[in-house]
């Protein structure tokens, strides 16, 4: 292959790269547009409502479900999920954060220089103790 062949290939690669970037931008715009359309139509929040209704129909979680507690969960969510009084975790774990109960376990850990595993473990133990008393 000569110099002209190498130049043609590099030009094709440049055009292909530009084309792919344009396609990615168009697809990203389309994705965002579709997502906002779903949010406006309340389809996404309807799914969240369905999940909440399913949890409520199932009844409160039990001691065997304590291991399902995850760092993304808020204290309020855990209280509702396990049917725990709103101030139980606050008093039992001596929480003084202003964001309680709408504070996720990971946010609480980050604000208090703890690991998420430490906080999640403490919450699991507190919930387990509440459910077994």
* 18 or 81, which is more confident: 18
Q: Residue 95 above 80 pLDDT?
A: yes
Q: pLDDT tens for residues 30-48?
A: 998 988 877 776 665 555 5
What pLDDT, on the 0 to 100 scale, is given for residue 64? 80
Contact between 107 and 99 under an 8 Å Cβ cutoff? The reply is yes
In which band, very low, low, confident or very high, does the pLDDT at 18 lie, cut at 50, 70 and 90? Answer: very high
* 5 or 66, which is more confident: 66
Instruction: Return the closest-CA partner of residue 89 out of 111, 68, 72, 104.
Output: 104
What pLDDT, on the 0 to 100 scale, is given for residue 47? 53
Q: How far is residue 31's CA from residue 95's CA, in Å, rounded to a whole number?
A: 40
What pLDDT, on the 0 to 100 scale, is given for residue 81? 87
Over residues 24-32, the mean pLDDT reads 94
What pLDDT, on the 0 to 100 scale, is given for residue 68? 85
Is residue 15 reached through a cis peptide bond, with omega within 30 degrees of 0 on the bond before it? no
Q: Residue 26 above 90 pLDDT?
A: yes
Q: Residue 17 above 70 pLDDT?
A: yes
Burial class for 38, CB neighbours closer than 10 Å (0-12, 13-18, 19+): middle
What pTM value is reported for the model? Answer: 0.57
What pLDDT, on the 0 to 100 scale, is given for residue 129? 93
- In three-state form (DSSP H/G/I as H, E/B as E, the rest C), the secondary structure along the chain is CCHHHHHHHHHHHHHHHHHHHHHHHHHHHHHHHHHHHHHHCCHHHHHHHHHHHHHHHHCCCCHHHHHHCCCCCEHHHHHHHHCCCCCHHHHHCCCCCCCCCCCEHHHHHHHCCCCHHHHHHHHHHHHHHHHHC
């Amino acid at each position: 292959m000569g110099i002209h062949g190498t130049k043609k290939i590099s030009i094709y690669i440049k055009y292909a790269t530009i084309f792919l970037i344009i396609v990615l931008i168009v697809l990203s715009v389309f994705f965002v547009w579709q997502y906002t359309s779903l949010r406006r139509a309340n389809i996404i929040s309807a799914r969240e409502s369905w999940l909440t209704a399913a949890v409520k129909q199932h009844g409160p979680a039990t001691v065997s479900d304590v291991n399902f507690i995850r760092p993304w969960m808020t204290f309020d969510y855990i209280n509702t999920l396990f049917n725990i009084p709103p101030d139980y975790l606050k008093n039992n774990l001596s929480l003084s954060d202003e964001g309680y109960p709408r504070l996720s376990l990971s946010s609480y850990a980050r604000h208090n220089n703890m690991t998420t595993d430490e906080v999640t473990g403490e919450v699991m133990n507190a919930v387990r103790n509440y459910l077994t008393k």
